[in-house]
Amino acid sequence: MYSTLMLHLELESDNAALLDIAGDLAERFNAGVTGIVACQPLPTVVGDGFLTGEIIDRDRAAKAAQINALEKAFRTALQHRARGVAWRAQLTYDDPTQYIAEQLRGADLLITRVNSSGSWLDATGNVNTTDLIMQAGRPVLVVPEHTRKLVAENILVGWKDTRETRRAIADALPFLLTAKHVVVVEVVRGDDGISYGRRNTREVCDWLGRHKIPAEPLAVSAGVDAAAAFEDIAMEQAIDLVVAGAYGHSRFREWVLGGVTRELLLHSKRCALLSH
C-alpha cells in the first residue's frame, strides 16, 4: 500500500482539484500526505540586462507569501483527511525538479498535475515535469488539468515488455487491488505480432491473478499510432486510470519522451500512473 503520498503543488495555479484527489487517496489508503512546492526567484540577468535588487527582493517576498498561503490551504484541506500532514518548500536558484525528486526518498507516490498549455515542458519554468518523472524513482500520478476526482474503478495497463512497464504495474498494485475492472493491453504492429501480444498479456494477467486481481488480457494490432489505439480502448471501457511505463531518452540535458508517454501527458483526459 501507499503509506506516504507526496503532493506537488504550484504557485499561481488552481490546486483545488489536486487537494481533493490527494484527500480521497489519503482516506482510501490511510496514508499521510506531504505537500511540496519548489520554485526559483527571478534571475539577476535577463537577456543583456540586469534586474535591480529591489525587483528581485519584491519577487522573493511575493513568492514567499504565496508559499505560506499555499501551505495554509494544504493543511486546511488535508489535516482531517490524511493520517498525518507535512510540508516542504524551497525558493532558491537550485534546480527545483531535483529538489522534489530528492524529497521523494520518504514517499511512496508523487501526485502532480499537467499544465495543458504545455509550459511544463519549458525548462525555464518552475518545475520540468518530464525531468521529474524521469528522476523521481517513484511512481508519479499525473492528473489532467480539469480532473477533480479519481475513482480508479476501471484501469488500463498499457503493456510493453520493458523494464519501465514491469515497474509501473508493480508500483500500481495498490490501485489495481481496489479496481473493479482491469484490462492489460498490448498494441502490436501488424497481425504477425498478435499471438506474441496475447501471450504476454495472458502471462501478466496470470501474475495479477496470483495477487487476487482479476484482469482481462487484450492484444490489438495498430499502425504507428499506438497512443490512439490505447485511447480508443480507454474510451470504450470507461477507463479512468492508465498505468504505463514512462519512456524517454536524454538529449542535451532535456528529456525527450516516447510517443505514448507524451500523449498520456499532453492530451489525455484521464489520470495516468507512470514509472520510469
Round the CA-based radius of gyration of the chain to a whole number and report it. Answer: 20
Q: Nearest 5°: phi and psi at 234?
A: -60, -40
Any residues with CB less than 8 A from the CB of 73 and at least 6 apart, and which?
Answer: 15, 19
65 forms bridges with which residues in the sheet? none
Closest CA to 15 of 145, 151, 149, 118: 145
pLDDT at residue 263 in the model = 75
How does pLDDT run across 193-221, given as a tens digit for each residue? 899 999 999 999 999 999 999 999 999 98
User: CB neighbours of 198 closer than 8 A, spacing ≥ 6?
Assistant: 217, 219
Give this prediction's pTM: 0.89
pLDDT in tens, 35-64: 999 988 876 655 555 666 677 778 888 899
Residue with cell 515542458: 121
Would you state the pLDDT for residue 94? 85
CB 184 within 8 A of CB 218: yes
Phi and psi torsions of 148, nearest 5°: -115, -5
For 154, which DSSP code? Answer: E
Rounded Cα–Cα distance for residues 164 and 244 (Å): 8
> Tell me, what's the pLDDT at 262?
73
* Range ranked top by mean pLDDT from 51-55, 89-93, 170-174, 217-221: 170-174
CA-CA distance, 263 to 117, in Å (whole number)? Answer: 14
H/E stretch holding 95 reads none
Residue 182: half-sphere exposure toward Cβ, Cα within 13 Å: 26
Q: Is the pLDDT confidence value at 222 over 50?
A: yes
Instruction: For each of the domains in the chain, give its residue range(s) and CATH number, in order of start.
Output: 4-143 (3.40.50.620), 154-275 (3.40.50.620)
CA angle 67, 68, 69 (to 5 degrees): 90
What does the alpha-carbon distance between residue 84 and residue 32 come to, in Å, rounded to a whole number?
A: 4
- DSSP assignment of 98-120, as one string? HHHHHHGGG-SEEEEE--TTSGG
Residue 123, pLDDT above cutoff 60: no
Give which of 62, 58, 66, 63 is closest to 40, Cα–Cα. 63
Single-letter code of the amino acid located at 74 = F
Classified as helix, coil or strand, 80 is coil
pLDDT of residue 273: 96
54-68, 182-196, 205-219, 233-247 — most confident range: 205-219
For cell 488535508, the residue is: 78
